[in-house]
Structure 1
Amino acid sequence: MMTVARSPHPYLPYIDGLRAIAVAAVVIYHLHGDWLPGGFAGVDVFFVISGFVVSASLAARERTSFRSFGLYFIARRLQRIAPALIVCLLVTTLVCALLIPDAWLSEGNERTGRYAFFGLSNVVLARGTNSYFSPISEYNPYTHTWSLGVEEQFYLLFPLLFWTWTFGGYWRRLVTGMFVVLGAASFLYALHLRDADALSAFYLLPSRFWELAIGVVLYQGMTLTGRRFDVAETSPYSSVKAVAAVSGCALMAYGFITGAATNFPAPGAIAPVLGTALVLAALHGQPLSSSIARLLTSPPMRRLGAMSYSLYLWHWPVLVVFRWTCGLDTPLKMTAAVALALALAYLSWRFVENPVRSSSRIRTMPRWQVVALGAAILFVGMRLHRFIDAEQGAWSLSTVSRHAADWYPTSKNKRDTVAVCGVPKPRVDTVGEGVRISYVRSACPEPVNAPDVFVIGDSHAMAFGSMFDAYAERTGARVTLYNNGGCAFLSLQPDREDSVHCRVSTESAVGDILRRVKPGDVIFLPSLRMPRFVDQWVRYPRDQVLDSIFGERAAAARESASKVAVAMLDRLRSTHARIVVEAPNLLLNAPAYRCADAWTRANPLCVDGTAVDRAEFERLREPMLKAVDRLAAQVHGTSVFDPFPLLCRPGPTCDGYLDGHPLFFDGDHVSAYGNRVLLPAFVAAMRLAAGPLPDA
């Protein structure tokens, strides 16, 4: 059995000071980005420090087999990273399951968290559609683990590159040269990828390797030139080094203040990365009484730096949970969030991170056992994460999750087949870049008593899913829904449809409808036909909304789009199918599900409530309603289905609720209960549309 001694590499207190600066910059940026626009570059500082420190931790190792070297390194990294990470991920998962209902805004969270256990969350995020700087990313409590993914992947690669360093002699120069070449290639690749694939450039190791490599090369270069890391720093004060240290701090500050999202990681990270390397190089051998060293080694900086890893882990989920619940819009809430993050970080550092890292029992275990045990615990943690997420519906404190049958317009738990009369789980097929979803009744003796319906539209068409399901079950007719690749269809708002993606997706869906539809069928066209007042994370400025409705540009766009719509409706009518266009539906002042619980009502999105003034809303929807009515009048066989009078009962306001039940899930998508309210009118509208058609 191999016993591992502590590294002879001494503690360099100014490194904790640099860590403190890095984590403080990140926390400030995440708390309020305008306060420190480039504060996210604190992660780049961490990368340089990490490359430097892991090199120093292994440099004194004697030459040994690659297996022994690799196991030693991986075991140390697991012992350092895994315990606090596992605890943070599991606690975050539990809190989110209790307080945050499942929604489109959170649909990628579970997968990101699951992969974070094994350092792969950055791969998940790189394959998504939202950048690190997207407001949607601010509602994923695991987004920050991308940087841990980069480091953990680097740690798997590092033994392969560093092992021969322990051979000494010319092998060391060879290893340093290899890191220089690979680092330069990584930097050039990052420059290329920034425009070709910005998500991969930001999140993945190949375009971040150069930052870690600079830390490695710095340590190796200092070692090759005779700098000692195993003796006390007794060199005399050097004014050149002092100037270099100040210059390095200035470069880091410049990066934090001026950092721009579009420039990262290259060339934007150059200033903080080179600044960090310059400080590390300058302070080595410098007396701790020098001004920069004295600042970086002050007790507050050392304490903050010592628990910087735990603070990095905990600050982000705390801020995200605040955003989901009460908000982060006041100094009091911000202060409370930071205080809670610091408290959790201290508890993690004091009772999880330190005890495991300094455990004498673990230190005396064979390295392969430490690696195996660490991997097993990570796997168990990941399974617990999935279990907690799966139990969200049963455990959640949110009224949305506890009354899911009223809130969610589609069911996730339907069976593929049914033994009694009903509609099984809809079949989903790919059509172009979108999908075709088929609702078909089975095992029912009753005859079909309504027309088949083809539906094409955006997410608002998907939100009618439970109504389509109930329509198929009640009437025996088939409903075929085309989710148009995230694009609206004849919304009369060209900006929502006029992209290459939407045009291609629309043509694929329309072509499929034309091949399948029969005379007497109904083509239903639901889409968002007004600018929304609020999204799931932001309220839009009222002036912007009004201009999008009454402005000259908006009026011209509706007129132009109406001409295009007439041509499309004529094309669809050539099949002798009937067409029903949804009128502009009710829009709420706040996303209902975000504001349904007591702990969310202080959120800035929710303080004004969901209700809108009925008379004012009717004024806002009038221009689009007239445009839709004109379409129906121009194209023979076209009618209008207007859900607004059913979802806003007579009264001065429309609040999105009926008898205490939600009519909407968020600010504009109809809920399951809203679907049930609309069903009788929808069935009647489809039957009426398919009735005998007088000669044109």
Structure 2
Amino acid sequence: MEESIAASRLCWGRNPWQLSGFMPNHRPCRIFGNQDSQALKSIVAEGEVRKSNYRPEIDGLRALAVIAVIVNHINKNAMPSGYLGVDIFFVMSGFVITSSLANHRSESLQDFFLGFYARRLKRLIPALALFTVITSLLICFFNPEPYNELGLAWKGMFGISNLSLYGSATDYFASSTELNPFTHTWSLGVEEQFYLVYPFLIWFSGFGRATVRGESNLLWVTGLLSVASLIGFLYLYQVNQPAAYFLMPPRFWEIGAGSLLFLGLRHPSQLLRWTESLPPLAVAACLVAILWLPLELAVIGTLAVVIATAVLIACLRKGTLMYAVLTNDKITYIGLISYSLYLWHWGILSISRWTIGIRWWSIPVQVALMLALGILSYRYVETPLRRAEWSAMRWKTIGFAISASAGTAGLVIGLQRLPISLYTGEQLELAARGVESLLQKFTLSGTGRAWQGRPCVLTENSEAGKIITSAGCTLGDPGKAKRRVLVLGNSFSAAFVQAFSKLVKRDGYAITITSSWGASPVKGMDNFSAYKEVNTYYWEQVAPSLMKDLRRGDLVFLINDLSDLTPAADTGRAQRRRQQFKRGLEELSQELSSKGVHLAVLHGLPFAREANCKPVNAIPQWFRPPGNHCPIPNKEVSLVRRSKLDMILREQERTRKITVVDLFDIFCSRKECTYLGRDGEVLYRDEHSHPSVEAARLSANAIRKALMVQ
């Protein structure tokens, strides 16, 4: 989220449609108050505008947007769709940047582009570099393994962190976004990539050269690209949500909407006359109401917030209550500092999650710190360096900015590669940490048998077609085994490899374990994840080929994370998926039963993923007050939440065709569910709630007992 300029362009002329710069022969605009005069001086000193055309209400809208984002990031339940504040910024960015470029007509292509990028980089880089250096150093003190965080930090300096997040979001090895203090730089990446495209549209359409048809050309080109972008967004949201969220092309339409609004307001029309009659207060109320929509309505919310923002900008006018509210000095000041405030708020919240947490008593301190750092950054870094003359030659200004970015990135990479750790806390001792450990080879001592790890797992769509056989994926000797067990599932099945040691060594079982990231619990369920293709391959090819080798008396054991079947808000989607799960279980158990093969299913575990916690955050540290810092819904709440899933499983169990393996009491041994076991064992290896090796070993007896009964 990078507001295109510190103070907004465009003010009202004599009537609502004679906006400064919108129509020819307009009257000069008047400046509103001392606060606005100071803001205007800042803009003029920046060299971005040539006329008094500041619109303070745009800064008021920025304040609304950044406050919504902050509230949502502090507590999602307080404002479920507050994250759409970023989308409000996108619309305003398109509006303001088009205004800025309209005021910078040039006869020279070189002059046009050098001027644009010099202004953008002076605006962006100083505050971002300061934030990146300080936050990178701080996260090293509290995170023993900050490699992912620092990697995103230096990519953010070059406007590509959104591409990195997209890549990791379609990869099961992604770090938790809330624990990474640089996650929010994805929106900067979107805007910076937009800025690589949009000036070319401005120039080659003729708008940047004030040609006769330049404005019309830009309107048509931007309109067509925005429609294509919107169609892409709607499609991708159904099949690849990370792409729809993080990439610039599916976001182009939001910034384009602001651009189209600016172009449309330059010419009176029936639509614009209709917007004049709308009460801004009612439109603003609708805009705020959208921010409370549930996450299940994300697509509708995104469309609605873009439309509402555009309509509000169009209908805001002097003399209305909403205009007075948005142009209040304190409100506009929040808008003026919103870029610095946006940068620092997420860093503070993220580091708080590594240290004291976000609690009722800490929130006032954290908000005060956000404001203090945002104000200091705006006053002493962002504003003076934006006003300063870096060089008389604009290409040198661009060079200085790129050098500053490279230098900051170099410092961060240096922190990544330090031979010593700056971590100040107690190290976590786990047999295996991180989701990448799910692919590690496991050798069963005393048997000469090993589970090879990666060859037994499908990790991405490109692996559809990969051959998985029992060779290398089996603990024990299938030829001599008393009974064979085929383990199928998503990444959770790989997490339980160590749980089968006793069955192999004491009872003569052979355990074949396979896994497919993001796989549905059973065949036939909807799968809209990034692993849709490989899920289909797993259930239609891999699982049947392995099941056909089973003999009468053998077992299939399904191990999955079933939490999406029992969300906190029991939506229609969850209900539909539970019915699909039930049908899939019935069909699979019937098929296996006809061959004399029994089916076992792992019941739902505690909702540890909702703690959004890395294992190291669960253990006491000097910088963390006593208490549970990885809060999971307690035992009573969790059991109530999974009660509908429990009914399905127990109903199936009564048919004697399946066995339910319930490890809940092992993973939640007290009233409060935590990341720790009864004797202090850390139960999870990562923030995605994959059980640790220690937890798998704790589960061994219960699993052995359940599978031996059959």
TM-score (norm 1): 0.67
1:259-408 matches, cutoff 5 A: 261-263=298-300, 265-266=302-303, 268-279=305-316, 299-322=329-352, 328=358, 330=360, 332-360=361-389, 362-364=390-392, 366-379=393-406, 381-382=408-409, 385=412, 394-396=421-423, 402-405=428-431
Amino acid at match of 1:309: Y
User: Secondary structure, in 3 states, of the residue corresponding to 2:515?
Assistant: strand
Aligned equivalents of 1:262, 1:94: Cα separation in 2: 37
CA-CA distance at 1:407 after TM superposition: 5.7
What do residues 12-42 of structure 1 show as CA deviations (whole Å, max 9, x unaligned)? 5854552243233332354156766775554
Secondary structure of 2:213's match?
helix
2:694 alignment partner in structure 1: 673
1:568 maps to 2:608: no
Residue 84 of structure 1 and its aligned partner are, at CA, apart by 1.9
Match of residue 514 from structure 2: 481
The Cα of 1:71 is off from its aligned counterpart by: 2.6
SS of 1:88 mapped into structure 2: helix
Amino acid at match of 1:368: W
> Does the CA-based 8 Å contact 2:161-2:185 persist in structure 1?
yes
Gaps in structure 1 of 5+ consecutive residues? 131-135, 226-239, 284-288
Work out whether 1:175 is the aligned partner of 2:214.
yes
What secondary structure, in the 3-state scheme, does the structure 1 residue paired with 2:520 have? Answer: coil
- For residues 531-570 of structure 1, what are the alpha-carbon distances to aligned partners after superposition, in whole Å with 9 as ceiling and x for unaligned? 79998xxxx48xx89xx9xx9x999999866643432323
Does the C-alpha gap of structure 1 residues 109 and 505 become closer, same or farther in structure 2, counting only changes over 3 Å?
A: farther
Q: Which runs of 5+ in 2 are unaligned?
A: 1-43, 171-175
Matches within 5 A, 1:115-194: 115-123=155-163, 141-163=181-203, 171-189=210-228, 192-193=231-232
Note the C-alpha offset of 1:344: 1.9
Query: Which residue, 130, 138, 144 being the options, matches 1:87?
Result: 130
Residues 104 and 208, structure 2, Cα contact 8 Å, conserved in 1: no
Q: Any idea what the Cα deviations from partners look like across 1:180-199, whole Å, max 9, x if unmatched?
A: 11232244335534542334
- CA contact 1:600–1:606 (8 Å) conserved in 2: no
Which amino acid counterpart does residue 581 of structure 1 have in structure 2?
A
Q: Do the aligned partners of 1:19 and 1:305 also contact (CA within 8 Å) in 2?
A: yes
Q: Using the TM superposition, give the Cα deviation of residue 81 of structure 1 relative to its aligned residue in structure 2, in angstroms.
A: 0.8
Give the whole-Å Cα distance in 2 for the aligned partners of 1:624 and 1:316. 41
Q: Secondary structure at the match of 1:456?
A: strand
- Counterpart code for 1:403: E
* CA distance in structure 2 between the partners assigned to 1:514 and 1:619 by the alignment: 30
Moved more, 559-568 or 265-274: 559-568
Specify the SS of the correspondent of 2:200. helix
Matched residue of 2:487: which SS? strand
Match of 2:36 in 1: none
Q: Is 2:610 the partner of 1:581?
A: no
Q: How far apart are 1:310 and its partner, in Å? A: 0.7
CA contact under 8 A between 2:468 and 2:542: conserved in structure 1? no
For residues 333 and 244 of structure 2, the distance between their equivalents in structure 1, rounded to whole angstroms, comes to 33
The corresponding residue for 1:231 is: none
- Residues 153, 174 of structure 1: alpha-carbon distance in 2 compared, 3 angstrom cutoff: farther
Shift of 1:456: 0.7
The number of equivalent residue pairs is: 623
- RMSD in angstroms over aligned alpha carbons? 6.1
Q: Structure 2 length as normaliser, TM-score?
A: 0.66
Contact kept, 8 Å, 2:190 with 2:251, in 1: the verdict is: yes
Deviations 1:656-680 (A, max 9, x none): 5254322445797432212344568
Look up the SS of the partner of 1:581 in the other structure.
strand
Kindly indicate whether the alpha-carbon contact (under 8 Å) linking 2:502 and 2:704 is maintained by their aligned counterparts in 1.
no
- Find the counterpart in structure 1 of residue 20 from structure 2: none
Which residue pairs with 1:78 in the alignment?
121
Q: Which has the larger radius of gyration?
A: 1
> 1: distance between equivalents of 2:562 and 2:235?
34
1:579-658 to 2 correspondences below 5 Å: 581=600, 584=603, 587=606, 593=615, 595-597=618-620, 599=624, 606=631, 656-658=676-678
Identify the match of residue 542 of structure 2 among 504, 509, 515.
Answer: 509
Matched-pair contact (CA < 8 Å) for 2:162–2:247: yes
Structure 1 213/306 Cα, relative in aligned 2: closer, same or farther at 3 Å? same
Change beyond 3 A, Cα 1:292–1:392: farther
Secondary structure of 1:455 counterpart: strand
Superposed CA offset, 1:65-121 (max 9, x none): 42343233212211211232233345445555554688xxx9997776565333344
Superposed displacement of residue 355, structure 1: 3.9
- 3-state SS of paired residue (2:600): strand
Whichever residue aligns with residue 402 of structure 2, its letter is A
Residues in 2 aligned to 1:38 and 1:644: alpha-carbon distance in whole angstroms: 32
The residue identity in structure 1 corresponding to 2:696 is N
